[in-house]
Structure 1
Amino acid sequence: MARFVSPLSAVLIYASIKAVGLVVLAFWSHTQQKSALHLLSRRWDSLWYARVAEHGYGFTLTAPDGRELSSMAFFPLLPWLERAASITGLTFGQAGLLISAIASVVAALGLFHLGRHVHSPQAGTLLVCLWASLPVSIVQSMAYSESLFVALAAWSLYFLMQDRWVAAAGLACAAGLTRPVGVAIGIAMCTHALARLRHADSRARILTSCALSLSGTAAYVLWVGAQQGTFVGYLDVQAAWGNGFDAGYSFARFLGEFISPAPVLTAVLLLAIIALTATPHVMMRLRGYPPALIAYSAAVTAMAMGASGYFGSKPRLLVPAFPLLLLVAIALQRSAKPYLWIAPLVVTSALYGAFWLNGSGPP
């Protein structure tokens, strides 16, 4: 295993895992008489990002039930980059694929360095392998914003661990313009600042960095509010899409309906969800993880599990919760042949990703 501990080897392993998934997707799509390229770049959220890149934020779609779905639900950094990349002659969807491909490699490199900083180079490499072989990791290759966000988040947290406040804050601001969960990085920075302010001489720089880290999300949410004519305009836009936050109640009720609609069962499932999301973070605290990393992971997990929207997308919403995978990476490192555990995950991820994208529902 010692030979798989460099940044280059981590990136090459990541690229190899992604290549397996794309080959399986291409073959599966061919058997279904579908285009893998179309599935990756011209369906679901990728269409909305492309519309924003091409037309700005004036587009709305009337759902069959009468709801007005606005493109303002989608944060602007990916569409901005797609528009910039389109000057090369690429379509907006193709530009999104290129951005995701580059960002996913940058994300893998950031995860390696973060894992190495927190534990060891081996843990960093295994963290990359686990992130690449998530069941829903096919989104890392789609014209979606997950790869871009994780690239920004991983490097921001890595710089934060080194007290490089300005770099961490700048990347956090950009992440906040990519997905609403960017606020989790701001929470991480504020958590890290609480420990540093008592001993640091540059308190103004730390406080300014914390404010900057939250400014991306805040700026976009306030802009949407101004466009909607109400301070809570962004929440109204999300509500039209069926999205909100209810601390997991809707998710517990959704799960309970498969067994029994009894309120007691819903309450039990809700408590179980809370316990399942809290347990790994308690373990991280007991094992001495940096508080900022725990805060980030807890915020991402809470926002994903507590969302009241489309429940099939929850695994995708957890893709940025990569600190949870570090627990598994460290455990695998202690085994005699850790990469033997990765191989079946890679195969499962490739098969599930191909099945998922060729299905009828959005990821």
Structure 2
Amino acid sequence: MSAETVDTPAGAAPPDRAGAPDTPLPSRLRIRAALRRATPALALFATIRLAGLVSTALWAWHTGRHPRTLLGASWDSRWYLSIARHGYGAPAPTGMWPDLPFADLAFFPLYPWLARIVGSLIPVGLLNAALLVAWAASALAAWGVFAVGAHLYDRRVGTLLVVLWALLPHGVIESLAYTESLLTALCAWSLYALLTRRFLAAAALAVLAGLARPSALAIVAAVGAVAVTHTWHRPGPLPLRLWAAALLAPLGWLGYVLWVGARAGIGPLGYFEVQELWGSRFDFGHDTLRSVKHLVLYGDPPAHFMVVAVLSVSLLLYALLVLDRPPTALLVYTTVLVVIALGGTGYFASKPRFLLPAFPLLLPLALALSRARTRTLLLATGSLGGLALGYGIYLLTVADLPL
């Protein structure tokens, strides 16, 4: 991967316009042109997700469950719906653990805010509004994933990157009322802004990401790393907009963490005490290794075997990504997400979900498939598609584990 990609000027033409006059287009026309380039990738993404939705709905009806409830009111979704409906501090949703003071403060506010806004504008009910926000975020995430892949390589790699992201074993999460798609959308576009030197736009998106999930620290770190890299490699004063971006990026995450401490009255680091209520902390991977050991010695639910497989493949793909020498922003962003997923405690079955925003891990595979024969490409994606559809149904309707 060429380092020159990072230094492409923001107004540079994409590869298929290399010979065109260097005249900046109005924003509306640039967005329309970018959307046209991404249309095949987005169509494939929509087809994959629609197939997953239909399969899940049919199986849910077969087992006597309502698909909408399954997609929009499972596990964490019920907490987000409660926050959107009542704000923070309400009793835990019926049947959900833990029913403790401040437990809902573990959930960042952007997604329930958006669900509440959409629900107030469109009379479809809060649950449907939450699903609409999640599905729109998935589409924007797919577009952002394509933009990063196409910028670094070409449209074929960008399209395959989107397809692989949609076909992940835990890709069904992209259709649930969860926050991973929203975080991926904000981070993907922030990374694209960094790669094209739109530093303030990258920071603004990082601020929003910091209000979506705690793992938004990854994109905050990426913005800071780009500033440090420019300082190290380029003599002379750092551009003011890059300094501003580095200072602005953490404000969303930091603001919510500090607000939680003030709201709960337990000090500026009170958010981490709230996380302790859920058994979540960072222990440098000891809990992950303990879970793997227990799986090997005593056996666990089948989903845990898939977790080990996903984590193992992720580490392999991470090594390949590092060897490919990606831009600093992508490397730092992916590294932080991998460290958070592997180093955190609790909810072993949820670790693949925590890695969903780490789409740059799929770049080595997307690049390899872009050079493969058509038969190999169809066989690989078809196999992944069958696995994703079947395993998604299993996760939602059979496994009965926290997602």
Using structure 2 for the length normalisation, give the TM-score. Answer: 0.82
Please name the residue that 2:60 is paired with: 29
Please name the residue that 1:333 is paired with: 370
Distance across 2 between alignment mates of 1:194 and 1:183: 16
Please name the residue that 1:76 is paired with: 109
Please name the residue that 1:56 is paired with: 87
SS at match of 1:33: coil
Q: What does 1:208-223 correspond to in 2, within 5 Å?
A: 208-223=244-259
Is residue 2:287 matched to residue 1:283? no
Displacement of 1:232 in angstroms is 2.0
Distance across 1 between alignment mates of 2:378 and 2:177: 29
Displacement of 1:346 in angstroms is 1.3
Counterpart residue identity of residue 74, structure 2: R
Mind listing any 5+ residue stretches in structure 2 that lack a counterpart? 1-35, 299-309
Displacement of 1:130 in angstroms is 0.4
Is residue 2:141 matched to residue 1:110? no
Displacement of 1:314 in angstroms is 0.5
Please name the residue that 1:301 is paired with: 338
Distance across 2 between alignment mates of 1:213 and 1:83: 25
Measured at CA, do residues 38 and 342 of structure 1 come closer, stay the same or move farther in structure 2, by a change above 3 Å?
A: same
- One of 165, 168, 171 as aligned partner of 2:199: 165
**Contact kept in structure 2, 1:118 and 1:289, CA below 8 Å:** no
Please name the residue that 1:267 is paired with: none
- One of 288, 295, 299 as aligned partner of 1:258: 295
- One of 168, 183, 187 as aligned partner of 2:217: 183
Counterpart residue identity of residue 150, structure 1: T
Is residue 2:125 matched to residue 1:85? no
Measured at CA, do residues 64 and 99 of structure 1 come closer, stay the same or move farther in structure 2, by a change above 3 Å?
A: closer
Stretch deviating more after TM superposition (203-212 or 170-179): 203-212
Displacement of 1:6 in angstroms is 3.4
Counterpart residue identity of residue 42, structure 2: V
Stretch deviating more after TM superposition (278-287 or 36-45): 278-287
Measured at CA, do residues 274 and 27 of structure 1 come closer, stay the same or move farther in structure 2, by a change above 3 Å?
A: closer
**Contact kept in structure 2, 1:112 and 1:128, CA below 8 Å:** yes
Please name the residue that 2:11 is paired with: none
Displacement of 1:121 in angstroms is 1.2
Distance across 1 between alignment mates of 2:388 and 2:62: 19
Displacement of 1:69 in angstroms is 6.3
Mind listing any 5+ residue stretches in structure 1 that lack a counterpart? 262-272
Distance across 2 between alignment mates of 1:282 and 1:192: 21
**What is the number of residues matched between the two proteins?**
349
Displacement of 1:71 in angstroms is 0.8
Using structure 1 for the length normalisation, give the TM-score. Answer: 0.90
Displacement of 1:306 in angstroms is 0.8
CA RMSD after TM alignment: 2.3
Measured at CA, do residues 171 and 339 of structure 1 come closer, stay the same or move farther in structure 2, by a change above 3 Å?
A: farther
Distance across 2 between alignment mates of 1:298 and 1:134: 19
Distance across 2 between alignment mates of 1:340 and 1:254: 33
**Contact kept in structure 1, 2:317 and 2:362, CA below 8 Å:** no
Counterpart residue identity of residue 211, structure 1: L
- One of 330, 346, 353 as aligned partner of 2:385: 346
**Contact kept in structure 1, 2:347 and 2:402, CA below 8 Å:** no
SS at match of 2:261: helix
Distance across 2 between alignment mates of 1:210 and 1:85: 31
Distance across 2 between alignment mates of 1:142 and 1:346: 18
Counterpart residue identity of residue 339, structure 1: L
Please name the residue that 1:16 is paired with: 47
**Contact kept in structure 2, 1:96 and 1:142, CA below 8 Å:** no
Displacement of 1:251 in angstroms is 1.2
- One of 263, 279, 299 as aligned partner of 1:242: 279
**Contact kept in structure 2, 1:136 and 1:352, CA below 8 Å:** yes
Please name the residue that 1:268 is paired with: none
**Contact kept in structure 2, 1:281 and 1:294, CA below 8 Å:** no
Is residue 2:150 matched to residue 1:123? no
Distance across 2 between alignment mates of 1:277 and 1:224: 33
**Contact kept in structure 2, 1:68 and 1:240, CA below 8 Å:** no
**Contact kept in structure 1, 2:91 and 2:99, CA below 8 Å:** no
Is residue 2:73 matched to residue 1:42? yes
Please name the residue that 1:133 is paired with: 167
**Contact kept in structure 1, 2:149 and 2:161, CA below 8 Å:** yes
**Contact kept in structure 1, 2:311 and 2:352, CA below 8 Å:** no
- One of 306, 312, 324 as aligned partner of 2:361: 324
**Contact kept in structure 1, 2:337 and 2:358, CA below 8 Å:** yes
Counterpart residue identity of residue 286, structure 2: Y
Q: Percent identity?
A: 38
Deviating runs (4+, > 4 A) in structure 1? 62-69, 199-202, 273-279
Counterpart residue identity of residue 238, structure 1: Q
Displacement of 1:284 in angstroms is 2.2
Distance across 1 between alignment mates of 2:192 and 2:141: 11
Stretch deviating more after TM superposition (67-76 or 346-355): 67-76
Displacement of 1:277 in angstroms is 6.2
Stretch deviating more after TM superposition (134-143 or 54-63): 54-63
**Contact kept in structure 1, 2:89 and 2:102, CA below 8 Å:** no
